[in-house]
Amino acid sequence: MSTDTDNVDLVDAAVVENLGRVALFAALMGAFAYVSFPNPFSPAPVTLQVLGVFLAGIFLGPVWGGVSIALYLAAGAVGAPVFSGGSAGLAPLVGQTAGYLWSYPVAAFVVGALVHGGLSVGDPREAGLVRLVGSMVAGTAIVYAMGVVGLMLVLGLGPVAAFMAGAAAFIPAEAFKIAAAVGIVRSDAFVAE
Amino acid sequence: MLSYEPGTTFAHALDPRTKLAFQAGFAVAAFAYTTPRGLAVLSVLALAALAAARRSPLAAAWDLRFAFPILLAAPLFEGLVVGPPWFSLARARFPALASYRVLLLLFVSAAYVYTTSARDSRAAIQWLVPGRPGRFLGLGIAVVFRFLPVLVADLQRARAAMRARLGTERSLAERIRIVTTAGLRRVDARADALSLALQARCVAWNPTLPRLGLGRRDAPVLALALVLALSPLL
């Protein structure tokens, strides 16, 4: 292990500020696993994890948003109870939830890149409604496509059974999350840096 | 909820890198040998991992209960056929084995989570990913561990406040927006306070972490991890 004891190498102020924001977003993503709402369309409750992915891309931008979600996965892998249902460890990353979890950083990057029109971060309120909704629809498609492929690979399901078990019951609720995200971006209640 | 608990078991005394290697080797073997015989051998190993952490499989299963619906549904969905006999055991066989394989993986990683502290995990991560990226990752992981309960409490307070004001009468999208906005504002305020506090305390790229050292008891577990990882080549 690399523990240095002779010199103290201070972290730059700019990096500390980014680190605080990115790591707290990762923790918020974990906290979202504990918030669930009854779903009007199916018995599976609505959790806010995918909304966390959208918001990371929208407010932190493609690069830092992706880093934040990757940090969330790393923290869960070493034991922070941040995955759905308060689970943790390496198993969720190779088990039945693998496809969804690995899709999150990709989706955060894509949502961020589409909303900001590139790798630089601007004010998300300047993005048009079509762009905002379109980017989140693309993000949803990535999450469920990779999630269903993950179920097929890990549980040996065919495409129809995997879609029935892992996407059909959850996709309608995504519309509520997209609507909520648009409301959050458009309001002045939370203004990104 | 899975979380670390201090203790003096065999698994607590192992080096975190050994435990990570064992999980990786176990996963490789579980995917390579998804057969009744292979899974029988791996079941013994998974139970041994829980025993090394002094945890009963039932207690672990209770902590992992949220994973069960999909694991049970997978073979049922795949076995469904249109027309008589409506259910095909032959088609449901592999998904059933695959679901069981995931259960064993969950048991083994639960044993890791029960017995490895955040500081030990952080030291292992920084050993695994050298240089500043590893240190950034280590610092970030430490922040996630620290702030997860705080933010969960923030969100619960926001929901309680919303309920008290008849917010439950609002539409689902509105309720999600209210709770999420509260969460984001708390993150913003806490991020500012955190970065100020980190700078005031001279946060460094080279903090002093627990010294990792492989002991005598790590050797057999590491050897087993290597055998499991190479088992597909046998």
ipTM field = 0.86
Instruction: Please state, in angstroms and rounded to a whole number, the distance separating the CA atoms of residues A130 and A134.
Output: 6
**Mutate which of B23, B31, B77 to disrupt the A interface (most A C-beta within 10 Å)?**
B77
Q: Right CATH number for A13-186 from 1.10.132.20, 1.10.1760.20, 1.10.3720.10, 1.20.1440.230?
A: 1.10.1760.20
Domain range list for chain B? 10-116+212-233, 130-200
**Mutate which of B87, B109, B156, B157 to disrupt the A interface (most A C-beta within 10 Å)?**
B109
Extract the tokens encoding B25.
Answer: 């080797």
pLDDT in tens, A93-127: 999 899 999 999 999 999 999 999 888 887 888 88
Give every CB contact of residue A123 below 8 A, 6+ residues apart in sequence.
Answer: A192
Taking an 8 Å cut-off on Cβ atoms, the answer to whether B140 and A23 are in contact is yes
Contacts of B201 in chain A (CB under 8 A): none
Task: List alpha helices for B165-205, DSSP H.
Answer: 172-200
Which residues are B204's β-sheet partners? Answer: A10
3-state helix, strand and coil shares in percent for chain A, rounded to the nearest 5: 70, 5, 30
Instruction: Please state, in angstroms and rounded to a whole number, the distance separating the CA atoms of residues A148 and A146.
Output: 6
Contact between B120 and B112 under an 8 Å Cβ cutoff? The reply is no
Question: Euclidean distance between the first and final Cα of chain A, in Å?
Answer: 36
Which residues are A36's β-sheet partners? Answer: A47
Which residues are A47's β-sheet partners? Answer: A36
Task: For residue B120, give the 3-state DSSP assignment.
Answer: helix
Instruction: Please state, in angstroms and rounded to a whole number, the distance separating the CA atoms of residues A124 and A80.
Output: 30
**Mean pLDDT for all residues in chain A:** 87
Q: Could you count the other beta carbons within 10 Å of the beta carbon of residue B54?
A: 16
> In terms of residues, how long is chain B?
234
DSSP state of A91: H
Contact between A171 and A140 under an 8 Å Cβ cutoff? The reply is yes
Domain range list for chain A? 13-186
* Kind plus residue range of the DSSP H or E element containing A14: helix A13-32
Nearest one of B140, B98, B157, B110 to B4, comparing CA atoms: B110
pLDDT in tens, B161-213: 988 988 888 888 888 898 899 899 888 888 888 888 888 877 777 777 778 88
B20 has a chain A CB within 8 A of its CB = yes
Q: How far, CA to CA in Å, does B2 sit from each of A99, B56, B65?
A: 21, 14, 11
**From the list A8, A46, A80, which residue is nearest B204 (CB)?**
A8
Taking an 8 Å cut-off on Cβ atoms, the answer to whether A9 and B206 are in contact is yes
Provide the residue-wise pLDDT of chain B in tens; the chain has 234 residues: 788 999 999 999 999 999 999 999 999 999 999 999 999 999 999 999 999 999 999 999 998 888 888 888 888 888 888 778 888 888 888 999 999 999 999 999 999 999 999 889 988 988 898 888 888 898 899 899 999 999 999 999 999 998 898 888 888 888 889 889 989 988 888 888 888 888 887 777 777 777 888 888 899 999 999 999 998 887
Interface of A with B in 38-97 (CB under 8 A): 40, 46, 48, 51, 55, 59, 71-72, 74-75, 78-82, 84-92, 94-97
Interface of A with B in 162-191 (CB under 8 A): 164-166, 176-177, 179-181, 183-184, 187, 189-190
Taking an 8 Å cut-off on Cβ atoms, the answer to whether B106 and A75 are in contact is no
* Kind plus residue range of the DSSP H or E element containing A37: strand A36-37
Taking an 8 Å cut-off on Cβ atoms, the answer to whether B173 and A87 are in contact is no
CA closest to A23 among chain B residues: B140
